Amino acid sequence: MKRRLALMQHLGEEFFIVMADDTEESAKVYEGNEEVAREAFRADIEGTEEPEIESNFEIFCSNNYAEVEELEEDDNGDYLVLTDDEADEKWEESLDSYISEIIEPEIEKMELGDLSYYIKFDEESWKSDAKMDGRGHRLSGYDGNENEEEIEGEIFYIYRLN
């Protein structure tokens, strides 16, 4: 769920969390503004005596607000949302793919004759040079940017794909 919230926060979309019984397991995340939801709830129950206000607020929200759905790692819509380790792994995969699909076929096409024995592509040096531009350069096909958002102490990196 944190992955989805990081993307929503990055996009400036509002969300709020409601816990039915003060445990994280009971937490539900809804789209919208909590203050507006509470005002609508108060207006809805005006004139009634409700001893379980918070649990009724959760019921009100589940009936009137869209619950935020989790974003899976491989749910690649317009954005890629990754942890630091996941971003490093995708970056390595992207560089390896570029080498095997672009660089190696070009090297094979070269007519080097007797020099081919002396010329060897240095993959690690190339990767080191390619990494100077940062992860966003390879992972964000839209603008080359890497954005980060923190949700409950965990940092997520966001890349726009298209």
pLDDT above 80 (res 86): yes
Domain ranges of the chain: 2-64, 79-160
pLDDT-above-90 percentage for the chain: 57
Can you give the pLDDT at residue 106? 79
* Tens of pLDDT, residues 27-37: 899 999 999 99
Can you give the pLDDT at residue 24? 75
Instruction: Give the whole-angstrom CA distance, residue 100 versus residue 97.
Output: 5
- Please tell me what DSSP assigns to residue 22: S
Angle at 79 between CA 73 and CA 85, to 5 degrees: 45
pLDDT above 60 (res 2): yes
Beta bridge partners of 160: 79
Instruction: Give the whole-angstrom CA distance, residue 56 versus residue 123.
Output: 61
Instruction: Give the whole-angstrom CA distance, residue 27 versus residue 20.
Output: 7
pLDDT above 80 (res 54): no
The token duo for 87 is 């971003």
pLDDT above 80 (res 150): yes
Q: What average pLDDT does range 34-52 have in this prediction? A: 84
- Please tell me what DSSP assigns to residue 155: E
Of 158, 140, 138, nearest in space to 148 by CA: 158
Residue predicted with more confidence, 92 or 104: 92
> For the chain, what is the largest distance between any 2 Cα atoms, rounded to a whole number of angstroms?
93
* Tens of pLDDT, residues 96-141: 999 999 888 877 777 666 555 556 778 889 899 989 999 999 999 8
